[in-house]
Amino acid sequence: MFWNMKQTSRLDILSSLVREFNIDVLMLAENTLGAADVLCELNTSKAADFHYNTGLCERIDIFSKFTQAQILPQFESNHITIRHLNSSTTCDLLLVVVHLPSKLRQSSESQAFEITEIARDIIRMEDKIGHKRTVLVGDLNMNPFETGLVTASGFNATMTRKIAEKQKRTVNTRSFPFFYNPRCGAC
């Protein structure tokens, strides 16, 4: 579950959602609650065993039922963390959590450029790990059809599984992998 807290202090609502939906990985942006307070609240249930998965990205906090060794940071910057989630109980995947600046602080063109750089970082990490099982979540502060999301050198997002199953598109002899974004179809 990803939630941009926008500096809310409603820990009671957060913990209720985590319990109700049996969340394994909680990703928070703009979190002003202390990690110890969040952990204490999440672990009030006897069945809960949440850990704070530390990293260098200051804009994103990750709490999960996985240990630090099972959700290792692979790449981090101010706005992104890429974690290798590898547990014997789940599929081996890359978890990409993003929190980009809003349009109040960055132009659409700058956002599109940043998406292009993030796409390159993801491809580099997929090559390092050896697979393309990647889940991207977060607050991009962009609409689903903006340039950075749909351009080939950006996320190359498509809303249909049939197109995504083609795995890539070629533009001027360069291949670009698709990202499947079912959210696009809901707009």
112-169 tens-digit pLDDT: 889 989 999 999 999 999 998 889 999 998 888 888 887 888 887 778 778 877 888 8
- CB neighbour class for 30 (10 Å; exposed up to 12, middle 13-18, buried from 19): middle
Q: Which DSSP string do the residues of the chain spell out, in sequence order?
A: -EEE-TT---HHHHHHHHHHTT-SEEEEES--S-HHHHHHHHT-STT---EE---S-TTEEEEESS-GGGEEEEEE-SSEEEEEE--TTS--EEEEEEEPPPTTTS-HHHHHHHHHHHHHHHHHHHHHHT---EEEEEE--S-TTSHHHHSTTTT-EES-HHHHTT-EEEETTEEEE-EE-GGGGG-
What's the whole-number average pLDDT of the chain?
Answer: 87
Query: Rounded to an integer, what distance in angstroms lies between the CA atom of residue 84 and that of residue 87?
Result: 10
Query: Rounded to an integer, what distance in angstroms lies between the CA atom of residue 4 and that of residue 18?
Result: 15
Q: Where are the domains of the chain?
A: 2-142
Model pLDDT, residue 28: 95
Q: Which of 22-26, 95-99, 162-166 has the lowest mean pLDDT?
A: 162-166
Model pLDDT, residue 183: 62
Give the pLDDT band (50/70/90) at residue 187.
very low
Q: Provide mean pLDDT across the span 70-89.
A: 90
Q: Provide mean pLDDT across the span 42-70.
A: 89
Model pLDDT, residue 18: 93
pLDDT exceeds cutoff 70 at 184: no
Q: Provide mean pLDDT across the span 172-177.
A: 84
Please report, rounded to a whole number, the percentage of residues in the chain having pLDDT higher than 90. Answer: 44
pLDDT exceeds cutoff 70 at 10: yes
Contact criterion met (CB below 8 Å) for 156 and 177: yes
- CATH among 3.60.10.10, 3.30.750.24, 3.90.1300.10, 1.20.1560.10 for 2-142: 3.60.10.10
Nearest-5° Cα angle at 57, 52 to 63:
20
pLDDT exceeds cutoff 80 at 47: no
Model pLDDT, residue 185: 47
Neighbouring C-beta atoms of residue 73, cutoff 10 Å: 16
Instruction: Supply the pTM of this predicted model.
Output: 0.87
Query: Rounded to an integer, what distance in angstroms lies between the CA atom of residue 21 and that of residue 146?
Result: 31
